[in-house]
Amino acid sequence: MKTAGFSLIEVLVALAVITVGVASLAQLFVLSAHANQIASTNSATLMLAEQKMEELLGETNLSPSPPGTLSANTPGFIDYLDAGGVSLGVIAVVPPPRAAFICRWSIDPLPDGAVNTLVVQVLVFSRPRNAGQARLVSVKYQRAS
């Protein structure tokens, strides 16, 4: 005689299906948290690069930078920032331990030789470097004084 209810095999199969589903969701949560962190870091580097670009374009007397300031830490053309984007005020080649972001910039004459025209580039990247990076380029015309 058959009674109402579930057999032990049916309960075990249902439990196995639910376990696989929950395990898949847990893995999805880990991946989405990682992707969210990367997106947040990329947004922060872009915002910091925009702020530095605005600052540089607002200056009246920009002078060209030495070669290679975007690829190496060059005093006067680098800024170390904490996790909140605040400058640490350190002017060293080696980044301080609290530096979460490194901002480098270069100012070069326009390659075609246009008088009083400069190419301004800003590069901001996070530490570790593979977490996020932003690079902005702009052209500025300076009136002769």
Residue 1: the pLDDT is 53
| pLDDT confidence of residue 111 | 80
Provide block-wise average pLDDT over 10 residues at a time, the chain (145 residues): 76 92 89 90 94 93 91 93 91 89 93 82 87 90 72
Nearest partner of 82 among 52, 102, 104, judged by Cα: 102
pLDDT at 104: 95
